[in-house]
Structures are given as C-alpha cells and as structure tokens.
A and B are shown apart, each in its own frame.
Chain A
Amino acid sequence: MIDKRVANAHAAVADVFDGATVMIGGFGEAGSPIELIHALIDQGASRLVVISNNTGSGEVGLAALLKAGRVAKVVCSFPRTANSTVFPELYRRGEIELELVPQGTLAERIRAGGAGIPAFFTPTAVGTPLAQGKEHRVFNGREHVLEHGIRADFTLIKGRTADTHGNVVYHATARNFAPPMAMAGTVTIVQVAEVVDAGGLDPESVVTQGIFVDRIVHIPSPAQESELIASGASYP
C-alpha cells in the first residue's frame, strides 16, 4: 500500500537543510504553495537557493521567506511585480544574489534537469547580456547558446487534487511551473486542496505522475496571496 500523505506542512519540510536548492512553483500568486513556504519559514533553514519565476509580493509567501533572510540566491525570470518591495530592497543592499534567466530557458532548464539532460542549446538570449560568457554554437546557420539543466534538493508546489500515489491535477493557470519542477526535485512536496484514494483520478487526466511526487500535504482551503495582502497580512 502506497500513501504519500504526511501529517502537515511542517512535517513535509522538516528535513530541508541549510544551503539547499529549493524550487518553488507559481507564476505570481497562481500556483504559489503559500502554506508550504510558511512552514519552511518556521522550520528555519537558511542560505537557500530558490528557483522560482518571481520573487513574491507583499510580505507573505515567497516574499516573506526572502524577508526572513533565508535566501542567499534566487534564480528567476521576473523579480519585479506590483506590490513587490522585499526583493528590490534586498537586491539594492547587495544582500541577495540574482541569476536572471529568460522564462522559457528557465522552464526548459528545469524540464531538462528533471529529464536527465545536462545541457541544451537555444537561440533565446543570443546577442543579449544574458548569453555573455556562455558557450555558443551554430546549428542550421543560426547561433545558439548552451544552457544547463537544473535540479533541486526540494520542490514545493501546489495542486488541486492528488491521489495517495501522488498523481496530481491542477487548477487553471496555477499549473505553470509545477509539472517540470516536480520532475526536477530530489524530494518533491505537493500541497493539494483535495486528496483522493488511488483510483480516484482518471489516469487519462493525470498531469503530474506519482513517480515525481514524494510527499502530499492536504491543505483544504489554501490562502491566496492577493487576499492575504489585501487583508494587511504579513508572515510570520
């Protein structure tokens, strides 16, 4: 019998260690695993390298993790959002490192990492500052740049429904980075609003297969970043 459920968000992130690389799903607030991030803040791991498309808003979720001083470096495509003040302040003070990656290259680096592909060539960013210092090669008469696959020690994502084997389906545009990040995490932790028994999901509709998921946390009514910010919340 397989049952990947763990008791709660704190149990799910208990073994995240100082200096770990952590992928965090979400595009803006859509798909952001806020309860897992807040549990990681409580847990206390520091000097984290966070791979996520954005850097959070307000002082909740990902922005709260940054504000708590737990993150040494972010790998992301767009560290600027309405209501985003925490990252800009840390960055301007030189207290956080930024590796800026085009969004599609970021997605493909994560996918490649999860698929066992160490590197790939892409024309994206050729001739721009983001390709400087990287290996170039011409294919079919066009210049390409070498980009490396990336993996993570832990992946934190949010789904709508999981079965006990870790098969996951998502909601609307909350899916975004979760499926490739699930593949690229050594330990992949998913929070879902609903858990069903094995057999409760149509195999034809499964988006992330259970083999990529290690731990499931049941968060029946997940918080939404914009609602927390509108209510003036900050974490902790």
Chain B
Amino acid sequence: MTKDAPAIGWSRDDIARRLARDIPNGWYVNLGIGIPELVARFVPEGRTLVYHTENGLLGMGPSPAAGKGDPELINAGKRQVTALAGASFFDQATSFAMIRGGHLDLSVLGALQVASNGDLANWSTGGSDAIPAVGGAMDLVAGVKRVFVITQHVTKEGEHKLVERCTYPLTGCGVVNRIYSDLAVVDVTPDGFRVVELAPGVDFAFLQKNTSAPLLAPIS
C-alpha cells in the first residue's frame, strides 16, 4: 500500500506500476508530462526501456543530482534531465520522424476524455479564454505504434472521462489502445470498451456507473 492509497481502486503510483508491468523489455517509449512520467519509476527489475523525449533525446535518464543540472539538457516538460549511456541527441525533424514514422513502440499520455471508438481529447477544453497549446500530442497519437492513456477514471468534479463521444476538441481519432485508470484497465476494441482488470474494491457495476459508454465484460 502506498501513502496516498484510496478507499477503493488504485493510487496514482499503483496505476503507473500496473502500466509499467505491461511494457516489454527493450521498447522505445515516450512518456507524456505529468502522471505518465511516473511510469519510469516502476519498470520491473531486469527490463530496460529507452525513453524518447520529443525535444530531441533518446536514452533520457532521471533528473540530475542537485547542482549538476544543465539548462540545455531538458525534457519535453522543460525540466532538467540526464542522458544515459547509449543516448543520442537529434533535431526536431528527426525526433518527429521517429514519432510520425512509427518507430516508437509506445506513447503514454494523459486524457481529458477517451471515447469508446478510441478518440482522444487531451489538449484543450475549448474554453474561449484558454491559450491553445498542443505541442507534440497530435503527432504522438497519429504516429506511435501503441497509445496507452493513464488517467483518473472520473474528474475531480465527478464527470466521466470514458465516454461514448468526446465533447472536447480531439487530439486524434481512433488512436487509443488501452486505458489505465484508478478503477480499471480497459481496452479499446472494435466493439467498444472492454474491461481487462478491475482495481481492488471495484466491481463491474460500479465501473459501469462511472463510465458513459457500455463496458464489455473481461474475456475469461
């Protein structure tokens, strides 16, 4: 149990740990800013992943020790990082050739909404006062071989994030493969959402009540 363990379901660390379990040794992975970054902490022993950061580094390592940072060695979240043995630097056209050319194995992203057809909305709520900013999200979901979403199942206000159709502006159409939430692991299939695994204390009826699209039962 982790410190922030909720009454039911998984903590953020638990979700990241559950997702990390599903990444095979040797994959080239892009972790989005925020919760997706947690995944790197929970990669099972004996597996080595190669982390890509779209601003131009393959083989990204953890934050530098205090006082050892380099303001020009940063990740896509503009935080200082390190370059591991075997790392390489490259320009933006090359970095996005890795993404758009289908060379990366996995992109892990956060979500505002995911639809049962795999549509993803994660860059804008469409608010008129918001400054629109997209970064590399649309390129990642369009180009990377697999897209995993890591997210709370519902918003702090209780709004469902797994929906029939996204109402926020899309990041990409039919791009999400699997969702890891605090309540469940859910696959996006041609028939809609299919539950893969329920978090501790969560039953199917509770998950359905917190999801605005029909759920298919796990394949036993």
One of B18-26, B168-176, B211-219 at the interface: B168-176
- A172-B100 CB under 8 A given contacts A79-B133, A102-B134, A179-B93: no
Q: Which residues of B contact A174 (CB under 8 A)?
A: 72
Could you tell me if A124 and B142 are in contact, using CB atoms closer than 8 angstroms?
Answer: yes
Q: How far is the CA of A92 from the CA of B136 in the complex (A)?
A: 24
- A100-B132 CB under 8 A given contacts A107-B93, A110-B93, A173-B56: yes
B70 within 8 A of A: yes
**In this complex, which of B54, B96, B138 has the most chain A Cβ atoms within 10 angstroms of its Cβ?**
B138
Could you tell me if B71 and A224 are in contact, using CB atoms closer than 8 angstroms?
Answer: yes
Could you tell me if B72 and A172 are in contact, using CB atoms closer than 8 angstroms?
Answer: yes
CB distance from B74 to the nearest CB of A (A): 5
One of B84-92, B177-185, B202-210 at the interface: B84-92
Inter-chain residue pair count (beta carbon < 8 A): 146
Could you tell me if B133 and A28 are in contact, using CB atoms closer than 8 angstroms?
Answer: no
By size class, the interface of chain A is 35 or more
Residue-wise, chain B 41-58 has the 8 Å CB interface mask toward A (1 for contact) of 000000000000111110
Could you tell me if B171 and A103 are in contact, using CB atoms closer than 8 angstroms?
Answer: no
Residue-wise, chain B 132-173 has the 8 Å CB interface mask toward A (1 for contact) of 111111110011000000000000000000000000011111
Q: How far is the CA of A105 from the CA of B129 in the complex (A)?
A: 25
Could you tell me if B78 and A82 are in contact, using CB atoms closer than 8 angstroms?
Answer: yes
Could you tell me if A173 and B93 are in contact, using CB atoms closer than 8 angstroms?
Answer: no
A164 within 8 A of B: no
Q: Which residues of A contact B100 (CB under 8 A)?
A: 104, 108, 122, 124
**In this complex, which of B74, B78, B93, B131 has the most chain A Cβ atoms within 10 angstroms of its Cβ?**
B93
One of A2-10, A40-48, A62-70, A125-133 at the interface: A125-133
CB distance from B176 to the nearest CB of A (A): 13
Could you tell me if B91 and A178 are in contact, using CB atoms closer than 8 angstroms?
Answer: yes
Q: Which residues of A contact B90 (CB under 8 A)?
A: 175
Please tell me which one of the listed residues B53, B71, B89 contacts residue A227 in the complex, with CB atoms under 8 A apart.
Answer: B71
Residue-wise, chain A 165-179 has the 8 Å CB interface mask toward B (1 for contact) of 000001111111111
CB distance from A91 to the nearest CB of B (A): 6
B35 within 8 A of A: no
CB distance from A81 to the nearest CB of B (A): 7
Could you tell me if A130 and B72 are in contact, using CB atoms closer than 8 angstroms?
Answer: no
A88 within 8 A of B: yes
Q: How far is the CA of A100 from the CA of B78 in the complex (A)?
A: 19
- A27-B142 CB under 8 A given contacts A82-B78, A128-B170: no
B188 within 8 A of A: no
Could you tell me if B92 and A103 are in contact, using CB atoms closer than 8 angstroms?
Answer: yes
Q: Which residues of A contact B129 (CB under 8 A)?
A: 92
Q: Which residues of B contact A209 (CB under 8 A)?
A: none
- A176-B142 CB under 8 A given contacts A77-B133, A78-B134: no
- A128-B172 CB under 8 A given contacts A28-B78, A80-B131, A178-B91: yes
Please tell me which one of the listed residues B91, B99, B139 contacts residue A176 in the complex, with CB atoms under 8 A apart.
Answer: B91
Q: Which residues of A contact B95 (CB under 8 A)?
A: 104, 107
Could you tell me if A177 and B91 are in contact, using CB atoms closer than 8 angstroms?
Answer: yes
Please tell me which one of the listed residues B89, B169, B173 contacts residue A129 in the complex, with CB atoms under 8 A apart.
Answer: B169
In the complex, residue of chain A having the shortest beta-carbon distance to the beta carbon of B123: A128
Q: Which residues of B contact A126 (CB under 8 A)?
A: 142, 172-173
B196 within 8 A of A: no
Could you tell me if A103 and B54 are in contact, using CB atoms closer than 8 angstroms?
Answer: yes
In the complex, residue of chain A having the shortest beta-carbon distance to the beta carbon of B128: A92
Please tell me which one of the listed residues A78, A108, A125 contacts residue B135 in the complex, with CB atoms under 8 A apart.
Answer: A78
- Chain A residues within 8 Å of B, Cβ to Cβ: 27-31, 53, 77-82, 87-88, 91-92, 98, 100-108, 110-111, 122-130, 170-180, 207, 224-227
Q: List 15 A-B contacts (CB under 8 A).
A: A31-B72, A78-B134, A79-B133, A80-B131, A82-B78, A87-B131, A110-B92, A110-B93, A124-B138, A172-B72, A173-B57, A173-B73, A180-B93, A224-B71, A227-B71
9 additional contacts (CB under 8 A) given A122-B142, A175-B89 = A30-B72, A88-B131, A103-B135, A107-B96, A126-B172, A173-B74, A174-B72, A177-B91, A226-B71
